[in-house]
Structure 1
Amino acid sequence: MRFAASILSLAAGLSLAAGTLPASARGITVAVGSSFTTLDPYQATDLLSRSVAKSFYEGLYAFDKDLKPVPQLAKSHEVSPDGLSWTFTLQEGVRFHDGTEFNADAVKLNFDRVLNPENHLSRYSLLKFIDKVEVLGPYKVRFDLKSPMPSFLQRLANGTAQMICPSTLKKYDGRGIAFNPCGTGPYTLKDYNPSERLVVVKNPNYRVAGLPKLDSITWVPVTENATRAAMLRTGEADFIHPMPVEQVKEMKADPNLNIHIVPSIMMRYLSINCMQKPFDDVRVRQAVSYAINREALCKVAYNGFAQPATGVIPPQIPGAASFGVPVYNPQKARELLKEAGYPNGFTTRLWSGYNNSTANKVIQFIQQQLNQVGIRTETRILEAGQRVTLVEANKEPKNAPNRLYYIGWSNSTVEADWGMRPIFDSREMPPKLSNEGYYSNPKVDELFDKAIAEVDEKKRNELYREVQMILWKEVPVAFLVYEDNTAASNKHLRNFNPLPDTGFEFYSAEWVD
């Protein structure tokens, strides 16, 4: 209760200070379920931080509400017959927040930064298939690829390849860039504290006439579900994400609120440290999976706003294979543990990468399920900063402290490779990417490399299906659920929408009295 009271007090203060202005001024407050990790889109591994960064940044392409790539700072593109060269014509007359012109030189500078492995940017792997970037004219730039990439536009649109002011890139190191956003976007920074608030105000010189329609947005991290809901009802917040699913019925009955529920491509899973005993034994990993009742998990922790996972990647992703809901069989789990040499079970760590109320329910549920088969767990809920320090930034795989780790992956490029490679490629272990279970299978790595360069869609999907069959059998993670993306808003707030990737879009958001 002390934490909830402090957040409500903070939000009330922000309403007066910089965030929620009177409705006529169209300033709003948005309460989100986690803290921000960084405002540098080339470093942000979490979708929340990249979604919020849309306040400042734009890329050559962006996703529309249906997750289709559409031009943003680019006007058009051409592709060479061999698929190795992509030439983009850029928008003219666009200005960065510092007043300098957006042009091809700025594009090259941004991509040269991320493509330099010595910069150790976490999103390097997303774009490393680019060989070089060449300026062909003030508003024309060519990307030469190492191999064909059919999903290149999706990679550009996912919120990573955003255009940062050249002056910022030249002035600041990585930490400075993370705290001093400067782009071409509709808002500019007013105030920022990663664990407390992010206040942005209208960019008066934005390139699109009439946008943005809001004067300001105050983003407030609020991990407690009940507190977010209370803020919405009292008017201290105008949009909350995620919506407390246990309060859907009550909130739907409120005429002052709008409820948003979108089937998502978010996979929630239990990462298993395959490098550490006893989880280096596939039988133990299989036992963990058999011990968890997915249908019950959806009801107990997600209040029905999730579906049991039926594959490695969600069914909306091209090339996804379905294997059915993982079988719940505690007896089989105990047999496998006995066979692996653990007839009395064992004790291990169970961590959550999120500290919101729903994650707490998930961890409690999994702890109870595992305990029934003899796997006793010591639980820990990590805040965003702890998650980065303990798991995402770990440089020594053998010393990684995580064992069982509840986390999620939203396939932000809407294609099979990025739905699996960051989690299961042995070359993408922290601090590079998100293979936080330290899974290593040379065959899987080989298939990833073959598939990503395969231009024939049918052959490419066959390769990805082989990968999925291996992963489903070897259980490097316990695949849990596909979680719906939920949000709620004041009825006067329009065009602020949750997306299937569990982010949100607010480009045309407005307040209508």
Structure 2
Amino acid sequence: MILRSLLATGLFCGLIAPALAAGDPILVLGNQPETLDPYNTNTTLTTAVTKSFYEGLFEFDKDLKVQNVLAESYEVSTDGLTYTFKLREGVKFHDGTPFDGNAVKANLERVLNPENRLARYNQFNRIRTIEVVSPVSVRITLKEPFGPFINSLAHASAAMISPAALQKWGKDIAFHPVGTGPFTFVEWKQTDSVKGAKFAGYWQAGLPKVDSITWKPVPENGTRAAMLQTGEADFAFPLPYEQAKALGENKKLKVIAQDSIIGRYLSMNMLQKPFDDPRVRQAINYAINKEALAKVAFSGYATPAKGIVPAGVLYAHPMNAWPYDPAKARQLLKEAGYANGFETTLWSAYTTSTAQKAIQFVQQQLAQVGIKVQTQALEPGQRVEWVQTAPDPKTARVRLYYAGWSSSTGEADWALRPLLSTEAWPPKLNNTAYYSNPEVDALIAKALVTTSDAEKADLYAKAQEQIMKDAPWAPLVVEQNLYATSSRLSGVVVMPDGNIDSRQVAVAP
């Protein structure tokens, strides 16, 4: 089942697993959160944790449809510049501070202040002014029309933080979350766990259904799976694809595989030889068998990428996948002056077993056409220093780069602009190909300001077709989300973008 987006209202060392308390589920993730400030992260699993404590004006449901949360409704001016929001009354933050228009203003002005250097600044920098009309009404005026604005507000990063807590903690709010969500913050033992307790004053009647929630980062694939088997965890995501069958045979577990909007790709640094030659980039696309990659690295829980933006993202434009044709790849390399191939490096943005399998497969495929690559899976610190914050594009060390992305706002802008526009070169955003095409930039910019769905779809389609032609990437696969829960757990859903909705979490007695 493909989910469509529409705007709408290792080995486990423990021999004996400790018993789980009836109302205290443990949810295991593949990575640890780097912060508990939702405005200062680009990591989806980090915002999955912060959603325990925080809510925004809107949210996405499991089908990536926008739903009202702290905003009950909104109106848009005919020129697409002014949004007026009616806020939910009677909601309080965990510290007792009322949620109102001043809270909205304080949060948005914080992220808009460039001196704060928050990671999500570019998501909101089209806002010109925020005006508190009344305690329950806020008017936001944009610098220019911005079609995905409501989707941006539905993103998990657009959370409402208590203004009193912001004033008290300042930058340390990253360690002291205070929101309106179903759980209050208890403790964060970095590298070990984040725990929240039931918020008795939560505005949604009947929630939360458990006394506490604990998130545990467990980087090793096999250990996450083992914790499910032994009963030490109630939920684990992501799961190693190669263990899906074995886990599915355990009657105490429920294993779920769902289509996602997470695309995996290989970017090529176009500022450096030989990747400045389009024939070399095309050759790399022809050299990789995406069907085989899906089977080898993802155990079949992936499909070849059919274009730049995965299906399920609004305004995705499906295209034919690059065919596997090593003879064509060798011909193009010869035409480009690399008849004997060349040597280069291939980095992975991840250290997971799946990523290791993927880059090893790509290495073998490229070797068959004469391209010899040295592979390295980057640790988080290396990834940030060597790739994401490389200060000078001309001297950036990245060459071939295996990475992935999901448009967590549910539409094509956030699938294209942060990755393939000229303004997105690191360290600003994530255009690790250092791709620059003025035509594509213009199409993306125009799509942002148009209010016509038909025109927007046409602009994004043209942009995606041009990107595919220029080949700054080798689009590889779109993976499935694979996760599992204990039979006693319900109410936890992995979203198409890899985020997690745990508000309805419940455990059977």
TM-score w.r.t. length of structure 1: 0.93
Indicate the residue corresponding to 1:274 in structure 2.
Answer: 270
Deviation at 1:178, TM superposition (A): 2.4
1:260 is aligned to 2:256:
yes
Match of 1:95 among 92, 97, 104: 92
Indicate the residue corresponding to 1:409 in structure 2.
Answer: 405
Indicate the residue corresponding to 1:418 in structure 2.
Answer: 414
**Per-residue deviation, residues 356-392 of structure 1 (Å, max 9, x unmatched):** 1211111111111112112222211123343233322
1:314 is aligned to 2:314:
no
Indicate the residue corresponding to 2:159 in structure 1.
Answer: 162
- Pair 362,92 (structure 1): closer, same or farther in 2 beyond 3 Å: same
Indicate the residue corresponding to 1:344 in structure 2.
Answer: 340
Match of 2:488 among 485, 492, 505: 492
Indicate the residue corresponding to 1:233 in structure 2.
Answer: 229
Is the 8 Å Cα contact of residues 148 and 413 (structure 2) preserved in structure 1? no
Match of 1:462 among 458, 463, 473: 458
Q: Which one-letter code corresponds to 1:117 in the other structure?
A: P
Does the residue aligned with 1:135 lie in a helix, a strand or coil?
strand
Match of 2:331 among 317, 331, 335: 335
Indicate the residue corresponding to 1:218 in structure 2.
Answer: 214
Match of 2:113 among 106, 112, 116: 116
Match of 1:371 among 364, 367, 382: 367
**Per-residue deviation, residues 78-107 of structure 1 (Å, max 9, x unmatched):** 122222111111112222222211111111
Q: How many residues align?
A: 500
Q: Which one-letter code corresponds to 1:288 in the other structure?
A: I
Match of 2:396 among 400, 403, 411: 400
1:149 is aligned to 2:152:
no
Indicate the residue corresponding to 1:59 in structure 2.
Answer: 56
Indicate the residue corresponding to 1:296 in structure 2.
Answer: 292
Distance 1:184 1:429 in 2: 36
Indicate the residue corresponding to 2:321 in structure 1.
Answer: 325
Deviation at 1:8, TM superposition (A): 4.8
> Which aligned pairs between 1:476-491 and structure 2 lie closer than 5 A?
476-491=472-487
**Per-residue deviation, residues 397-427 of structure 1 (Å, max 9, x unmatched):** 2232221111111111111111111100111
Does the residue aligned with 2:369 lie in a helix, a strand or coil?
coil
Does the residue aligned with 1:350 lie in a helix, a strand or coil?
strand
- Pair 428,21 (structure 1): closer, same or farther in 2 beyond 3 Å: same
Is the 8 Å Cα contact of residues 314 and 320 (structure 1) preserved in structure 2? yes
Indicate the residue corresponding to 2:123 in structure 1.
Answer: 126
- Pair 179,462 (structure 1): closer, same or farther in 2 beyond 3 Å: same
Match of 1:200 among 184, 196, 200: 196
1:86 is aligned to 2:112:
no
Does the residue aligned with 1:132 lie in a helix, a strand or coil?
strand
- Pair 455,172 (structure 1): closer, same or farther in 2 beyond 3 Å: same
Deviation at 1:261, TM superposition (A): 1.4
Match of 2:505 among 498, 502, 509: 509
Is the 8 Å Cα contact of residues 251 and 257 (structure 1) preserved in structure 2? yes
Distance 2:72 2:43 in 1: 28
Distance 1:257 1:371 in 2: 41
Does the residue aligned with 1:126 lie in a helix, a strand or coil?
helix
Distance 1:196 1:398 in 2: 39
Does the residue aligned with 1:55 lie in a helix, a strand or coil?
coil
Indicate the residue corresponding to 2:133 in structure 1.
Answer: 136
1:22 is aligned to 2:21:
yes
Is the 8 Å Cα contact of residues 122 and 433 (structure 1) preserved in structure 2? no
Does the residue aligned with 1:341 lie in a helix, a strand or coil?
coil
Indicate the residue corresponding to 2:358 in structure 1.
Answer: 362
Does the residue aligned with 1:42 lie in a helix, a strand or coil?
helix
Distance 1:192 1:429 in 2: 33
- Pair 173,368 (structure 1): closer, same or farther in 2 beyond 3 Å: farther
> Which aligned pairs between 1:433-448 and structure 2 lie closer than 5 A?
433-448=429-444
Q: Which one-letter code corresponds to 2:293 in the other structure?
A: L
- Pair 270,150 (structure 1): closer, same or farther in 2 beyond 3 Å: same
Distance 2:230 2:406 in 1: 31
**Per-residue deviation, residues 333-370 of structure 1 (Å, max 9, x unmatched):** 22222222222222222111112121111111111111
Distance 1:220 1:376 in 2: 39
Does the residue aligned with 2:40 lie in a helix, a strand or coil?
coil
- Pair 289,53 (structure 1): closer, same or farther in 2 beyond 3 Å: same
Q: Which one-letter code corresponds to 1:98 in the other structure?
A: D
Deviation at 1:194, TM superposition (A): 4.3
Is the 8 Å Cα contact of residues 34 and 355 (structure 1) preserved in structure 2? no
**Per-residue deviation, residues 116-163 of structure 1 (Å, max 9, x unmatched):** 233332212222222211110111101111222333221111112111
Distance 2:343 2:304 in 1: 26
Distance 1:274 1:171 in 2: 46
Deviation at 1:496, TM superposition (A): 0.6
Deviation at 1:172, TM superposition (A): 4.2
Match of 1:472 among 460, 468, 475: 468
- Pair 383,204 (structure 1): closer, same or farther in 2 beyond 3 Å: farther
Distance 2:291 2:89 in 1: 52
Deviation at 1:436, TM superposition (A): 2.0
Distance 2:389 2:167 in 1: 25
Q: Which one-letter code corresponds to 1:66 in the other structure?
A: D
Is the 8 Å Cα contact of residues 104 and 135 (structure 1) preserved in structure 2? yes
How much is the aligned-residue C-alpha RMSD, in angstroms?
Answer: 1.9
- Pair 336,128 (structure 1): closer, same or farther in 2 beyond 3 Å: same
User: Percent identity among equivalent residues?
Assistant: 49
Deviation at 1:70, TM superposition (A): 0.8
Distance 1:490 1:188 in 2: 24
**Mean alpha-carbon deviation: is it higher for 395-404 or for 354-363?**
395-404
Distance 2:444 2:190 in 1: 35
Is the 8 Å Cα contact of residues 37 and 385 (structure 1) preserved in structure 2? no
Is the 8 Å Cα contact of residues 270 and 472 (structure 2) preserved in structure 1? yes
